[in-house]
Structure 1
Amino acid sequence: MNRYLRALAGAVLLLLFCGAYGQTLPAAVNTDPARAVVTLPEPANPALPSLILIGDSTVRNGKDDGQDLGPAGQWGWGRPIADYFDPARINVVNRAVGGLSSRTYLTSGHWQRTLAFVKRGDVVIMQFGHNDASPVNDDRRARGTLRGTGEESDTIDNLLTGQRETVHTYGWYLRRFIADIRARGATAIVCSPVPFKRWDADGRTRRARADYGGWAAQVARQELAGFIDLNEAAAARYDALGRDAVLRLFPQVTPDETVHTNLAGARLNAEVVVAGIRALGVPLLVGALNDKGRAIVPLDDARPVVTGPPGPPRPANDLPALFLVGDSTVKSGGKDGMVGWGERIAPYFDPTRVNVVNHAIGGRSSRTFYTEGRWARVLEQLRPGDAVLIQFGHNDGGRIGDPAMKGRASGAGTGPETVMERKADGSVEAVHTFGWYMARYVADARAKGVTVVLLSPVPHRDRWQEGRDFAEFAAWDEEVARQGGALFADLTIVVTEGYRALGAAVVDGFFADARTHTNDAGAAFNARQVVLALQGLPGRPFERWLKAGM
């Protein structure tokens, strides 16, 4: 079929689409569904907070009326979920659009139009994935995204729009939505896509852990966003109901339909989302539930995907801040007598000139501090004129995929290569190199006007007397700093030289365990060595914050 005939056929299809879904054609016929004129609801009462939904046809199907077939037609869960909330307390605004992916919801302009209604205190739930698996470039819809959650991109000449476009990964678009939502003072919740009406070889409903469901969870972990695993929870309910009952949750007039539910199926999915909302405990949403909503039992596994405390807040003053990021050698909290140098460094700085904010946490690597969303927490607090010291390496070594590494190992080097690691929950994570994570920290912080210092790790108890410890990590840190415009301090060597001046008899008394963690005396000594390392940086950028005589 030549291009003219394809265009003609596309125009006919669009006429049929608009007739079925009540959408109005633009003045010039356009075969791109993303450019169809769609009338979406607005907050009914602008004075109230809003729950805003974005997604595809599994959230809002057509005109949101069952295509004149009543309950037997196709429905998204965004319509019945309003029945669980008190309209006197909250607006439920379903701005999902059928046929769109995370990419085309953005590029079509729908996101910018929706974002205009998002205000401080609102909540936005996003659910994409079903259309993201479509072709990236064709002359029919051109809506696909690159697979995964990384920073890869592909620049194309879009066959549908005739425009050059840079296409990103599924995860990149979700992160864009989250960032935009937070910039407006609202809360973002990620929802994995509803399950298909399909079964595996064992007769269980197919899950999406290895692709869009797993990727949605990974982005939520990375960004410290709330996550509702609608895919898993709805699939579990399907399995409990049995195949015959599940078939009745989909339109009987189209028995081959595997994606879109009828109204009964939409109600089941809406109930799962409400159960997830109750488990997340977002005050605005929980407080706006009506009696029907409060009767829903919370999901067991819907919670913000982050382990342990999220880190301290920035002090409420106008002073610049020095942020510390790292592992237990920076902050151990006194457990079993272990203390990190970051817990003993504040006395060297003038509290009338700078805040010292220690976000380090034990057991983390450059990889997991990022994937758990902890870096996102720091990034939210950074302001121009701040500084951040970053020290990782102790937990980055080992083999990716080795259970003993507890999902912490990063790849060797500074390159763009990745290794796919299957997680215990069935999802797959693209694991980057140590240098990739460190470069991400540098780029993110510098984009906010922040001074970044990469520190090589403090040495082990058994490695400072001969040779040098952490040679590779120091080299990778130095390379990343040089390429990214950050500063580098070889803390390993600065501490080692200090240890050698004292001797083994004294240094052995600095440790709380056999090899890695210092006690209070060792933390105080290492904190002094960090200050010496900072004073040796070009231009002495921290001199203005140090106390006189330091």
Structure 2
Amino acid sequence: MRLIKILFFISLAVLFINFTSNQNNKPTVFMVGDSTVKNGKGDGAGGLWGWGDYIGQFLDTTKVNIENHALGGTSSRTFQDKGLWTVVLNKLKKGDYVLIQFGHNDDGAINDSLRARGTIKGIGNETQEIDNILTKKHEIVHSYGWYIQKIIQEAKSKGAIPIVCSPIPRNDWKNGKVPRNNTSYGLWAKQIAEKEKVTFIDLNDKMAIEMEKLGETKITGTYFYKRDHTHTSAKGAVLAASVIINELKISKNSLKKYILENHKIVFPPKKKVFLIGDSTMANNDNPDAVGWGVVFSTYCDTTRIEVINKARGGRSTRTFDYEGLWNEVKNELQPGNFILIQFGHNDAGAVDKEKLRGSLKGNGDETQQVIRPDGTKEIVHTFGWYLEKFIREAKEKGAIPIVLSQTPRNEWPNDKAERRTETYNKWSQDVANKEGAYYIDLNQIMALKYEALGKEKVKTYFPKDHTHTDFEGAKLNALTAAESIKKLKECDLKNFIEL
């Protein structure tokens, strides 16, 4: 028995050594560059990704290793000055690959107290001697081409295979075209690659061509963000990576033999925001009664978050619960999801007559037994009781509830837009405060907007009745909800709002 155990552990040790040896013998694809190659820690913070985060999904990682050493904010100069290139150089072995892309930050100031990362333009041997204000060190600054050439030559000295890329294009458009950098950093990168006889990929031009095929409207907000013309979303990063892969396929570079024939791109999972409420939020399939939840996604970064509108016309807190609609939503909730809750319009209905949708007024624990038409008994609770249930059960699932007061009706008591300050607004806020949920007084905010617009203008938003708005009215409600979420200081949903 003892001999069997010894042989077993020897076998495990041999397998481990073989596995480690195979890992070490595999070539590694190293990436060096700026934030367009790896943004932040490469975890998609803020929804920003570099192409280096996705290029590995196009390659056979059973045969090559992937290491993305790019760092946001660096230029060809500061990547080396900070010792980041030395880290890669010390790891390089014969047969490894180095993908190189710099340029976005090389255009900065050569010497200042903020970043001091600029390089001399061009590929010449001219230098500038400085006392670096930022680092407090004496430094000799070289040209962009000099720094790129240094990386190439040192990589080659270790037997590695450099591949130079021009910087990805910025999301700037002129007359339907994306400006190229083929007279500056793109050109200089190409000239150095040709001088050193290494593979050059004109990522700037080839990606710009693909962007132009898709068009500015589709690119902005999907592949790049409206707030940022330099950094890509996950889809933009994949687009850049796919361009590099396609160019490698038609090159003579040996890295192309590791490209997968049938790659599968896995995007990061999106966060979800659920909407529950009545017809003022729901999709009612009626142009004269458009719920603001239909338009809400317009103001969200839908590359990172999915808006799921579960609001249903004619429902109160009571009927949304009684009909099982709440359970359907609750069963879909995952930790980190958001849920917007807005009720009140139908809760004021009769408790035991007609539509059987009214809830008891207030936030108390009182109940009323109702006999339904089929003879079954229903215990009806207060408006606040149902809200509290939704909030608590959402939080139990790890979701983040945000309570909104109901939208105002087109009613003008005393020449003021309708408010429910002492009833549903107050009860909603009291429950939200009690349960530690976020609260937005949409009723009050919208009432103020209506008063600023005036009765006649507001009337155009309500073609059907005094409760439901058309698309323009829904858009105003949705925008106001988004603006209000953006102001919630500690709520992460604000980071997904794009106004």
TM-score norm. by structure 2 comes to 0.48
Give TM-score scaled by structure 1 length.
Answer: 0.43
